[in-house]
């Protein structure tokens, strides 16, 4: 089975709010990290990757399987983070959860 090995990885929990009066609802978890080795030939070393939804997660063995059927091997220690669904595209574009948090803390008028 071809795998992708990632380092500096983060398991990101994604939450959404249906309207202003609703509490945040858990959508799912994805893996964000940087590629060390890729047997699938989809990524170059040091590329970032944001996966599809995590289906199976075995942190003891350091293996994650995703909704699309990809298998990721976790190298080294990782962390966990939370983001809002509205910020998910930023994650897909390569922004880390920390960078997204910093972007959200900047007043909206600073860029105008």
38-74: pLDDT as tens digits: 999 999 999 999 999 999 999 999 999 999 999 999 9
User: Which parts of 2-111 are beta strand (E)?
Assistant: 4-16, 25-38, 48-50, 54-58, 63-66, 71-74, 79-84
Alpha carbons 92 and 112: distance in angstroms, whole number: 25
Q: What is the pTM of this model?
A: 0.90
Please give the residue range of the domain that contains residue 68.
Answer: 4-111
Asked if the model's pLDDT at residue 90 lies above 80, the reply is yes
Q: What domain count does the chain have? A: 1
Dist. CA 30–CA 14, nearest whole Å: 8
């Amino acid at each position: 089975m071809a795998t992708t090995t990632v380092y500096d990885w983060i398991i990101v929990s994604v939450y959404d709010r249906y309207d202003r009066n609703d509490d945040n609802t858990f959508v799912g978890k994805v893996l964000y990290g940087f590629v060390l080795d890729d047997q699938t030939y989809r990524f170059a070393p040091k590329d970032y990757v944001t996966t599809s939804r995590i289906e199976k997660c075995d942190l003891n063995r350091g293996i994650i399987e995703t909704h699309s059927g990809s298998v990721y091997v976790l190298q080294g220690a990782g962390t966990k983070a939370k983001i809002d669904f509205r910020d998910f595209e930023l994650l897909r574009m390569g922004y880390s959860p920390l960078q997204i948090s910093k972007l959200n803390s900047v007043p909206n008028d600073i860029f105008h």
